[in-house]
């Protein structure tokens, strides 16, 4: 019977389309799941979307639609992004799914009846984007300690989970399970920052908004995100407090939770306490991976430095995106995405090292032997060296992958690919081909190279599965992988009959590609500016006009958009929980200093659009005064958030 391996990702929040940093979660989990399947495990991978909360309600209201319609759209978008990077999963759970809702309500009631949840009043600070409460001492300069955005005062009736009751038991679990945290340094962060100061009881309901799972015995409250969302890891495999499913009994506890480092606290403090209170086993490990930065900054829609994985994959291929993320992001330190870095990794590892190795080897096998070579009867000293390198590569690879050090594993693999390319230079097949008496030696060289490629496709399959399938086709392998232990032994294939050589990756002209990307950004900016300047020119009905939501917005910050001379990025207060970003093509007529502090009319329910990497969440009104002159319509004195009728 196969050993089970249950792996989960953090479920994506349905506020906006996930960027490439969010996508790293599913790419990493998918790689681990594929690797475990290669090793013979019975794997179940759970991912999904987190769909409740005040922020979702506010975003839906801004568009004039129901929250469920909003999350339906974004959840589908998340699935599309996951598909664009080749992610395969066993279930995509949504926190609006009926089975999840019913199980959460039962769990909430059970914890309340046994005294682990009680009713009280919350008073403190609240961050809407993070959906997190903080005490005044945890807030610096009025900003959230997690995301750095402004917090707001909050006071409301709420239910609380008795975290403090389980503090000692939680620390004991940490001590008895030293591998619970990955990387291990996350443990010290949790103990020093949260546990030593003393755990405060956790707010697990809200009574100031309605978009959430209702507390069925108190309809004034909805279940708060950190009890609603976290429990997906058990409801997604069929947990019910009354009748747990066979799947739940088979797969729980989770072998690995894959999350970003910014939510380690929720998964190693709140989540274990919830499980303890429900009498359920603890997950075995929590992998808090580092961030994907853009340059030296955290990727954020509000900062306008967002890159989307599906857009990169559509242009350069899904495996190129997967490989870059998995090879570039270290185990414990943040990694960086820049197009320059992406092109360099693509050309160096994928096109030059791997692609050239496969193309040259298949082409030489076709040219010198009509496509077929057999295993040699004996080995030369050079062959023995390559065999030893192959065995060491497998050993290092397994060690890195078992420890979820994917960047280290990628480097181990590419080192062996470089060794195979060096073997070509050492043996010089084109020289051997000139001497008929060297035919057997030449055949042996090509066989070893094909074996090297076969081994590389085995080790790389969790990272770049489509490419490996194509490479295996080119070297004449149609059969699926067998047992890893047998497949990873070098020199076991009887013979090879290769197919037609075809480049796996076309080399990118970095300078040309960067210029084209910049030109496309400028074109999009120009189109947006033109569309904004032209406005609405056709007649509309009063019903059509009623669909437009106009609000007064105070410009609290403004800056130029990089690589777009005509665009300004405005931060606008619309009287909502968080300010919005609006991109406007008015840089020719206004400087940031001309705008900051003024109140303008904003179309607040315009569908978001990304311009030069900045997501615009509305449009300000301006007048085309002719003769290349544009005037912004200032309405100073009107309170921010006021509706314009």
Strand bridging mode 117-127 / 152-161 = antiparallel
What are φ and ψ of residue 415, in 5° steps? Answer: -65, -40
Is residue 288 within 8 A of residue 10, CB to CB? The reply is: no
- Cα–Cα–Cα angle for 170, 203, 107, nearest 5°? 75
pLDDT averaged over the chain? 89
Alpha-carbon span 384 to 426, nearest angstrom: 13
Structure tokens given for 177: 């399970």
Contact 146, 130 (CB under 8 A): yes
Phi-psi region of 131 (alpha: psi -120 to 50; beta: other; left: phi over 0): left
Of 581, 46, 15, whose CA–CA distance to 305 is shortest? 581
Is the pTM for the entire model greater than 0.75? yes
Nearest to 441, CA basis, from 499, 383, 490: 383
DSSP one-letter string for 507-538: PP-HHHHHHHHHHHHHHHHHHHHHHHHH---S
Cβ(395)–Cβ(411) below 8 Å: no
Residue in the block written with tokens 């311009």: 611
Q: Where are the beta strands (DSSP E) in 272-395?
A: 286-289, 292-294, 297-298, 335-337, 372-374
Two structure tokens written together for 528: 């947006």
| Token pair in block for residue 94 | 């949504």
Say what the pLDDT of residue 612 is. 72
Q: Which residues of the chain have pLDDT under 50?
A: 302-304, 535-538
Spatial CB neighbours of 239, under 8 Å, sequence gap ≥ 6: 103, 231, 245, 248, 252, 280
Q: Which pLDDT belongs to residue 64?
A: 87
Q: What is the 3-state secondary structure (H, E, C) of 121-182?
A: EEEEEEECCCCEEECHHHCECCECCCCCCECEEEEEEEEEECCHHHHHHHHHHHHHCCCCEE
Q: In the prediction, which pLDDT does 544 show?
A: 58
Instruction: Give the Cα separation of 171 and 191 in Å (integer).
Output: 8
Choose among 504, 447, 442: nearest CA to 470.
504
**How would you list the strands of the sheet with 580-584, edge to edge?**
580-584, 568-573, 550-560, 599-603, 619-620
406-427 and 318-328 helices, crossing angle to 10°: 110
Backbone region of residue 258 per phi and psi (left: phi > 0; alpha: psi in -120 to 50; beta: other values) = beta
Give the up-direction half-sphere exposure of residue 566: CA atoms within 13 A in the CB hemisphere.
15
Q: pLDDT at position 365, please?
A: 97
Structural domains of the chain in order of their starting residue, each with its CATH number? 4-311 (3.40.50.620), 338-497 (1.10.730.10), 524-632 (2.40.50.140)
pLDDT of the residue at 154: 76
Interacting residues of 146 by C-beta distance below 8 A, sequence separation 6+:
127, 130, 132, 262
pLDDT in tens, 4-61: 999 999 999 999 899 888 999 999 999 999 999 999 999 999 999 999 998 898 888 8
pLDDT at 302: 47
- C-alpha torsion 325→331→333→334, nearest 10: 20
* Pairing state between β 152-161 and 181-182: unpaired
Helical packing angle, 381-402 and 406-427, nearest 10°:
170
Give the Cβ contact number of residue 522 at 10 Å. Answer: 16
Q: How many CB atoms lie within 10 A of CB 395?
A: 12
How far apart are the C-alpha atoms of 311 and 465, rounded to whole Å?
Answer: 19
Q: Which residue has the tokens 């989770």?
A: 254
Q: What is the pLDDT of residue 530?
A: 65
């Amino acid at each position: 019977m196969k050993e089970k391996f249950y792996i989960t990702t953090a479920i994506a929040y349905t506020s906006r389309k996930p960027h490439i940093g969010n996508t790293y979660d599913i790419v990493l989990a998918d790689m681990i799941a594929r690797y475990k399947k290669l090793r013979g495990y019975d794997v179940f991978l759970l991912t999904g979307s987190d769909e409740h909360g005040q922020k979702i309600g506010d975003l839906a209201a801004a568009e004039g639609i129901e929250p469920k319609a909003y999350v339906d759209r974004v959840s589908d978008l998340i699935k599309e992004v996951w598909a664009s990077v080749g992610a395969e999963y066993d279930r995509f759970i949504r926190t609006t799914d009926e089975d999840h809702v019913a199980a959460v309500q039962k769990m909430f009631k059970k914890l309340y009846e046994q005294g682990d949840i009680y009713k009280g009043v919350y008073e403190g600070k609240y961050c809407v984007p993070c959906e997190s409460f903080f005490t005044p001492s945890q807030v610096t300069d009025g900003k959230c300690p997690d995301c750095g955005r402004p917090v707001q005062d909050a006071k409301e009736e709420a239910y609380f989970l008795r975290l403090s009751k389980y503090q000692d038991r939680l620390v004991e679990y940490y001590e008895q399970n030293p591998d619970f945290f990955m990387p291990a340094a996350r443990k010290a962060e949790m103990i020093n920052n949260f546990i030593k100061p003393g755990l405060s009881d956790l707010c697990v309901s809200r009574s100031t908004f309605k978009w959430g799972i209702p507390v069925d015995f108190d309809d004034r409250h909805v279940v708060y995100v950190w009890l609603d969302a976290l429990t997906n890891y058990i409801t997604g495999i069929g947990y019910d407090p009354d009748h747990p499913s066979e799947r739940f009994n088979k797969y729980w506890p989770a072998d690995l939770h894959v999350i970003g480092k910014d939510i380690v606290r929720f998964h190693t403090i709140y989540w274990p306490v919830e499980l303890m209170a429900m009498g359920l086993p603890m997950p075995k490990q929590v992998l808090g991976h580092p961030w994907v930065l853009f340059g030296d900054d955290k990727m954020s829609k509000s900062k306008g430095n967002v890159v989307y994985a599906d857009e990169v994959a559509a242009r350069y291929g899904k495996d190129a995106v997967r490989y870059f993320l998995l090879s570039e992001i270290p185990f414990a330190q943040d990694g960086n995405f820049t197009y320059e870095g992406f092109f360099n990794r693509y050309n160096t590892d994928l096109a030059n090292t791997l692609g050239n190795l496969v193309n040259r080897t298949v082409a030489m096998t076709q040219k010198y032997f009509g496509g077929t070579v057999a295993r040699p009867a004996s080995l030369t000293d050079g062959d023995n060296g390559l065999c030893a390198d192959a065995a060491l590569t497998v050993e290092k690879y397994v060690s890195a992958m078992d420890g979820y050090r994917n960047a280290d594993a990628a480097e181990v693999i590419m080192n062996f690919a470089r060794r195979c390319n060096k073997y070509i230079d050492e043996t010089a097949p084109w020289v051997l081909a000139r001497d008929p008496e060297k035919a057997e030696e030449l055949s042996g060289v090509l066989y070893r190279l094909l074996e090297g490629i076969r081994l590389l496709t085995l080790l790389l399959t969790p990272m770049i599965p489509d490419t490996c399938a194509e490479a295996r086709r080119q070297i004449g392998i149609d059969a699926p992988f067998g047992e890893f232990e047998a497949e990873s032994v070098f020199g076991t294939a009887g013979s090879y009959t290769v197919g037609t050589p075809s480049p796996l990756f076309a080399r990118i002209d970095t300078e040309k590609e960067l210029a084209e990307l910049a030109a496309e950004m400028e074109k999009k900016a120009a189109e947006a500016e033109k569309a904004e300047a032209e406005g609405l020119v056709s007649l509309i009905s009063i019903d059509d006009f009623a669909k437009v939501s106009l609000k007064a917005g105070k410009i609290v910050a403004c800056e130029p958009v990089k690589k777009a001379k005509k665009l300004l990025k405005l931060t606008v207060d619309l009287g909502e929980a968080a300010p919005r970003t609006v991109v406007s093509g008015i840089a020719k007529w206004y400087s940031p200093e001309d705008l900051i502090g003024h109140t303008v009319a904003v179309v607040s329910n315009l569908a978001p659009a990304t311009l030069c990497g900045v997501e615009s969440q509305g449009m300000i009104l301006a007048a085309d005064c002719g003769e290349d002159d544009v005037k912004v319509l200032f309405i100073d004195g009107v309170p921010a958030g006021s509706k314009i009728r």
